[in-house]
Chains A and B, each alone.
Chain A
Amino acid sequence: MMLSRRLKLTAILCSLLTLIVGLSLIQVHNYQQQIYRQLNYSMKLQLSIDSLRSQLWLYQEYTDKQGLIELNNRQAELAAELSQNIDWDVQQKIIIQNLNRLNTNVRALINTQNSHHSTQTDNVAASKAERLFKAKYSMVIEEMTEEMFNLHQLSIKQAKKKQQTLLWLVGAVLLLLTTLITAWSFRTLSRFRNGLNSINQGMEALASGDLTSRIVFSDDDELSALANNFNNMKYSLTQITVKKDSLKQEVDRQTRKLIEQQDRLIFLAEHDELTGIYNRRAFIKKIDNAIARDLRSDDQAALLFIDLNKFKHINDTLGHSVGDEVIVIIAQRLRNHLRSTDIVGRLGGDEFVVWLDLIAEPIDIDQKITQLLTVIKMPMNISTHQLEVGASIGISVLPKHGTTSRELISAADTAMYRAKADNSIEYCFYQSDHGVTVLANS
């Protein structure tokens, strides 16, 4: 049951208790009033009867008009008293009825005595009558007294019984209700305390970082609802924490991917797509750095401009794919036969450029070119074809033929055309306008 309903019920029970206590007090008051009324009334009756008795005695002593008037008054007073409506029960009513009857008897006796009293002549008869009336009055008054005693006794007995019954009844009801309310309140308290303890423990567990445990509850009240919400909250918190971790991992993964893509883009921007060696722009950039470094350290370097021979024929006859494979193989061979400080690039089509860094002597260039020509010319198997290509190489030397990449490439290009033009030579050093020419024999 909900705690609010429990508390509401407790409040209702308390209200009921208050109501019962109130009603009981009113009832006790009413009973007391009734008892006092009855006792007061009995006393008044007693007084009236006593008064009637004394007046009767006086009337017997002084049988005159004044005595009779007084007697009539007393008798009427008693009749009036007896006619009052008091909350009597059956037995008390019977006694009152009997008193009434006795009072009527008194009236009958007075009337009888009075009607003949004046005509009384015979003394003996008169005294006989007087004696008889005296005895009759005495009997009636005696009976009245006896009945009054009965009325008192009955009233007291009933008052006692009523009060005891009321006391027992009220006591039993109060005891029952207070026991019920006390038990009920303790039970509510116990539930409240247990519920709060469970929630407190749950919160302490959460504070210490425990996201897995749950509050166990069996009741169906507000604290249980609170515990349930707390459990739900804890579950959500666990979910959020898990999401955060996986999000971080995803971000890392995406970052890595981006870096990879960036690297790839950089690579693609700097390298020839087909061969994987530097493209023209990257090659120029690289050799610009090398030129600057070599110039600072007064070192020599050579730039080879290589143009393949017989390639166009292969391309035209065997197709672009075979041509592309030839280019790839040549690029590989070049790369494989260069030092780590050397740089190789493809300018487009069948044109390659090679930077030979840190050349000590010109002879070293020749040796390297020879080596390169050898590997270029090595036969290659592509599909079912065994192919061979040759190359014409133009060479420019830093700083002799230029100090910029543009100058050096242009010079090497020029020299390559010269070598190509001359079928007798495979490579040719740039021949400057100053007349310095170095030719290599095939």
Chain B
Amino acid sequence: MILMGILGCVTGCDVAEKTNRNSVSKKKAITIAVSNTPLSAPFFIAEKMGFFANNNLHVKLERFDGGVKCFNALVNQQVDFATASETVVMFNSFQRTDFAVMASFVESDNDVKLLSLTPEKYRQLDHIANTRIGVIKGSASEFFLDSLLIMHNKTHLPIKRVYLTPAQLIPALLDNQVDIISAWEPLGYMLLEQIATKPEIINSRGLYHLSFNLIGMKQSTVDNNDKQALLKSISEAIIYIHKHPKHAQEILSQTLNIAPSQLQYSWADYTFRLSLSNALFSNIQTQSQWAIDNQLVPKENRVDFRQVIDRQLLETFNNKEAGW
């Protein structure tokens, strides 16, 4: 009798599972624009490990190179959600407030670095005087450089900024067009591959916080339950990353077609977690002040960043998870 019960239960579960999957496949797909970087790990893992399907979601990941393109796909209504850094959020907030950050899912305190072919020359930051520094205009690259100079009290040093695109940074450095570049990963890793010594000129860990965030339009066809399910899937993927970091890296390595050593290089810098605190708010605020100071955005157009941060969703999710 016990055996029959177990059989019945198993059959029942099986049927329920099938029904679940059927209903998932019938459901309209939720599209998410994700950046082709390891920072999007929770999405790739959730897709690969079936966490979306387990939460009754049919998710389609659209991959783009960088958060800016992801964000553009979102506002162009190509996708339902996008992932982008807080810098992208900050700049776009000056243009529009019809989007909202739902959650931050990864942070790095060591993503942007000052790199050089001869880092030993610049161990003292004073030595960067009269150097040519390659930066990407109006991006985290420039913000990081400015922050570093401010915090180290080196704003008065005469330096020459050479504005480049991300693709031009390393060639320019190798070509001696610039002495130093302010660049994010994986450029640091790629440079390391080229010169075989650590290209970082100073340890800038903790001086700049990069975050990647899940962003959606305020007017969305995706209902709240699915949004909750989406957060749950990402949360499960994050737990999986914590518990099985090696397997997670293998999946990422295959998905992004990057060498495991590259993943390894910056893996320890990433903190995967769902959050939406004042830290992000403060980060965006600081960056916006910098953008205003540097006239990257119209000065008169002050933005209330509370409008683009939707705490409600994550709070509800957290409360549910805590069983409150």
Offer 5 A-B interface pairs, CB within 8 angstroms, sorted by A.
A101-B109, A101-B271, A109-B207, A133-B151, A146-B277
Q: Which of A20-28, A90-98, A224-232, A337-345 is the contact stretch?
A: A90-98
Contacting B at CB under 8 A, from A125-184, are: 125, 128-129, 131-133, 135-136, 138-140, 142-143, 145-147, 150, 153, 156-157
CB distance from B200 to the nearest CB of A (A): 14
B92 at the interface (CB under 8 A from A): no
Contact for A122 among B109, B155, B242, B318, CB less than 8 A: B155
A98-B271 in contact given A113-B151, A116-B152 (Cβ < 8 Å):
yes
Contact for A142 among B239, B242, B273, B279, CB less than 8 A: B279
CB distance from A384 to the nearest CB of B (A): 110
**Closest Cβ neighbor of A149 among chain B residues:** B318
Asked if A108 contacts B153 (CB within 8 A), the reply is no
Asked if A94 contacts B322 (CB within 8 A), the reply is no
CB distance from B20 to the nearest CB of A (A): 24
Asked if A108 contacts B278 (CB within 8 A), the reply is no
Cα–Cα, bound, A116→B207 (Å): 15
A128-B279 in contact given A94-B242, A105-B205, A153-B322 (Cβ < 8 Å):
no
B118 at the interface (CB under 8 A from A): no
A85 at the interface (CB under 8 A from B): no
B26 at the interface (CB under 8 A from A): no
Asked if B150 contacts A135 (CB within 8 A), the reply is no
A194 at the interface (CB under 8 A from B): no
Asked if A140 contacts B279 (CB within 8 A), the reply is yes
Asked if B282 contacts A112 (CB within 8 A), the reply is no
Contacts of B155 in A (CB 8 A): 122, 125, 128
B139 at the interface (CB under 8 A from A): no
CB distance from B87 to the nearest CB of A (A): 14
B127 at the interface (CB under 8 A from A): no
8 nearest A-B pairs in the assembled complex, by CB-CB distance: A105-B206, A116-B153, A108-B206, A142-B279, A139-B279, A135-B286, A143-B279, A146-B277
Show the binding face of A for B, using Cβ within 8 Å: 90-91, 94, 98, 101, 104-109, 112-113, 115-116, 119-120, 122, 125, 128-129, 131-133, 135-136, 138-140, 142-143, 145-147, 150, 153, 156-157
Asked if B243 contacts A120 (CB within 8 A), the reply is no
CB distance from B287 to the nearest CB of A (A): 10
Contact for A104 among B205, B242, B273, B318, CB less than 8 A: B205
**Closest Cβ neighbor of A160 among chain B residues:** B323
**Closest Cβ neighbor of B241 among chain A residues:** A94
CB distance from A89 to the nearest CB of B (A): 9
Cα–Cα, bound, A131→B286 (Å): 9
Cα–Cα, bound, A139→B281 (Å): 9
Cα–Cα, bound, A195→B271 (Å): 73
Give the most central of A94, A119, A131, A153: most B CB within 10 Å.
Answer: A94
Contacts of B275 in A (CB 8 A): 143, 146
B209 at the interface (CB under 8 A from A): yes
Asked if A132 contacts B147 (CB within 8 A), the reply is yes
Cα–Cα, bound, A129→B275 (Å): 27
Contacts of A146 in B (CB 8 A): 275, 277, 279
B283 at the interface (CB under 8 A from A): yes
Give the most central of A90, A91, A132: most B CB within 10 Å.
Answer: A132
Asked if A132 contacts B282 (CB within 8 A), the reply is no
B285 at the interface (CB under 8 A from A): yes
**Closest Cβ neighbor of A94 among chain B residues:** B242
Cα–Cα, bound, A423→B123 (Å): 192
**Closest Cβ neighbor of B318 among chain A residues:** A153
Cα–Cα, bound, A143→B278 (Å): 8
Cα–Cα, bound, A399→B111 (Å): 173
CB distance from B106 to the nearest CB of A (A): 12
1/0 per residue B252-283: CB within 8 Å of A?
00000000000000000001010101110011
Cα–Cα, bound, A253→B207 (Å): 131
Asked if B153 contacts A129 (CB within 8 A), the reply is yes
Contacts of A156 in B (CB 8 A): 322
Cα–Cα, bound, A147→B272 (Å): 12
Cα–Cα, bound, A139→B280 (Å): 7
Asked if A98 contacts B282 (CB within 8 A), the reply is no
Cα–Cα, bound, A142→B278 (Å): 6
**Closest Cβ neighbor of A125 among chain B residues:** B155
**Closest Cβ neighbor of B153 among chain A residues:** A116
Cα–Cα, bound, A147→B205 (Å): 19
Asked if A119 contacts B277 (CB within 8 A), the reply is no
Cα–Cα, bound, A128→B155 (Å): 10
Cα–Cα, bound, A377→B156 (Å): 194
Cα–Cα, bound, A261→B7 (Å): 95
Asked if A128 contacts B150 (CB within 8 A), the reply is yes
Asked if B153 contacts A125 (CB within 8 A), the reply is yes
Cα–Cα, bound, A122→B155 (Å): 10
Asked if A142 contacts B109 (CB within 8 A), the reply is no
Contacting A at CB under 8 A, from B155-173, are: 155-156
Contact for A98 among B207, B273, B283, B289, CB less than 8 A: B273
Contacts of B283 in A (CB 8 A): 135, 139
**Closest Cβ neighbor of B148 among chain A residues:** A112
Contacts of B203 in A (CB 8 A): 108
**Closest Cβ neighbor of A143 among chain B residues:** B279
Contacts of A108 in B (CB 8 A): 203, 205-207
Contacts of B206 in A (CB 8 A): 101, 104-109, 140
A138-B282 in contact given A122-B156, A150-B273 (Cβ < 8 Å):
yes
